Amino acid sequence: MRITCPLCGERDRREFYYLGAKDYLDRPDEGDVEAMHRYLHIRENPTQVTQDLWQHEAGCAAWLVVERNVSTHEILSVNLANGTKT
């Protein structure tokens, strides 16, 4: 599996750290226990296309949203997590 970092180009999967579903971008307010539980634990866990957070740890260290088919390992798109391509 190879991932094309928007800043560094196509790189080996080993340069990237996997965090998990991009749900992690939507952190709920402090004190909302139910929302925090969903944010931390509950996952849609789709069988086809998923959007996950990866970090180009051994490269530019940018956080990325990688759209990927989890049944075929195909990478469909890679974007910077902050949404700005600079």
Q: Does 42 bind other proteins (CB under 8 A)?
A: yes
Residue of the chain from 10, 40, 76, 82 that contacts other proteins (CB under 8 A): 40
For other proteins, the closer CB: 23 or 80: 23
**What x/- string results for residues 8 through 37 when contact with other proteins is judged by CB under 8 A?**
----xxx---xxxx-----------xx--x
Residue 9, by phi and psi: left (phi above 0), alpha (psi -120 to 50) or beta?
left
Residue of the chain from 10, 32, 58, 70 that contacts other proteins (CB under 8 A): 70
CA distances from 28 to 16, 21, 80 (A): 26, 15, 21
For other proteins, the closer CB: 21 or 80: 21
Q: Where does residue 68 rank: exposed (0-12), middle (13-18), buried (19+ CB within 10 A)?
A: buried
The amino acid present at 55, given as its one-letter code, is Q
